[in-house]
Chain A
Amino acid sequence: MLLFTCPNCGPRNETEFHYGGQAHVAYPESPGELSDREWAEYLFYRENTKGLFAERWVHSAGCRKWFNMVRDTVSYEVKAVYRIGELQPETLERIASATEPEQAQPLAPAQANPTTASEGV
């Protein structure tokens, strides 16, 4: 059982979350102009990184909000947690090269992030 830290609710069991796959895959700006190959890349091709991987999770049994996480796909260790819309707190390479394992980013209180707070309203 993995322990994940929801940016809104704090540490909870893995079973309260659902997986959303690779993070930061943007919807194409002009889907109609893509070639079949490009559309296939958008639809079916995702990174399958062995090592540090930025991925999306949703706290489905809690606040029901999506967030991003950097996790090691070999050790399953969580390296960072950050909100949707935020940039990766560190580049993956920098986390990887750090001698000390990086702690999860300090969690900003909800009011510090009006973007998240107004999401879905």
Chain B
Amino acid sequence: MWLLEKQYFLMQKGRAEMGNTAQNTEVLALRRSPAHHLWTDFTVGSVAGERGVTLREVPFQRMVGIRVDPTSEVGTRIGELTGGLPLNSGDVTTGESGAAVLWLAPDEFLVVAPDDGEPGPSALVTSLLEALGDGAGQVIDLSSNRTTFELSGPSARAVLEKSCAADLHPRTIAAGTAITTEINKIPTVLFKSADETFQLFPRSSFADYLGRWLLDGMVEFAAEGTSWP
């Protein structure tokens, strides 16, 4: 409880003294990502080699929810910042800032960018809000809504396929594709960021459960050889 209060106090203070790097650093030091307590388990549970699979949490990514008609004027304005807005399921666009924009629905998108270390609204959020202006739609900073798990390696797809019913075969999901689906009934945005790398965005409250679930699914690949013990 003390931590939360202190955190809140420092956040407020941090906002008031934007640009005060010392204060920001103090705030950042207090942050705990939703699966932080599993980091050691992730390291221990990760498997190297040709059947390998690695799990890690990528903490504090900046995420912004956008709801807008992509074909409208304001949609175009926002799209100028994001390399356009994706128009179909699976599509992902990337703007100059390097932020990825994932298609969630015909009028809903999720912007994902690495941790920018800003305790308050980042430049990304501010610029998107400016682009929205008073147009029809919304731009909301959703950074702590979801965390990020990165599952990578030759066996990453096999681990996911145990409990994700969506077709994850490369002919359907190529690198650079993102879909919204369920992993063991946990609503998850799944972004295949490279050939053998999946970024999973579960809501923070599911982080512990999904983290342990994935670890459990990785166990068999740590076994020597291909035969069952």
- Chain A interface residues (CB < 8 Å from chain B): 6, 8-13, 15-16, 61-65, 109-111, 113-114, 116-121
Contact count band on B = 20 to 34
B68 within 8 A of A: yes
Provide the residues of chain A in CB contact with B105, threshold 8 Å. 8, 62-65
Partner of A118, one of B69, B88, B187: B69
Known: A63-B106, A120-B107, A121-B107. A15 touches B182 (CB 8 A): yes
Provide the residues of chain A in CB contact with B134, threshold 8 Å. none
B72 within 8 A of A: yes
Q: How far is the CA of A9 from the CA of B182 in the complex (A)?
A: 13
**Which label, helix, strand, loop or mixed, suits the secondary structure of the B interface?**
loop
Provide the residues of chain B in CB contact with A110, threshold 8 Å. 87-89, 106
Q: How far is the CA of A113 from the CA of B87 in the complex (A)?
A: 11
Known: A9-B89, A15-B165, A65-B105. A117 touches B180 (CB 8 A): no
Provide the residues of chain A in CB contact with B89, threshold 8 Å. 6, 8-10, 62-63, 110
Known: A15-B182, A121-B136. A63 touches B104 (CB 8 A): yes
Are B68 and A121 in contact (CB-based, < 8 A)? yes
Name B105's closest neighbour in chain A (CB-CB): A63
Name A10's closest neighbour in chain B (CB-CB): B89
Provide the residues of chain B in CB contact with A116, threshold 8 Å. 106
Are A117 and B70 in contact (CB-based, < 8 A)? yes
Q: How far is the CA of A64 from the CA of B87 in the complex (A)?
A: 16
B167 within 8 A of A: yes
Name B70's closest neighbour in chain A (CB-CB): A117
B101 within 8 A of A: no
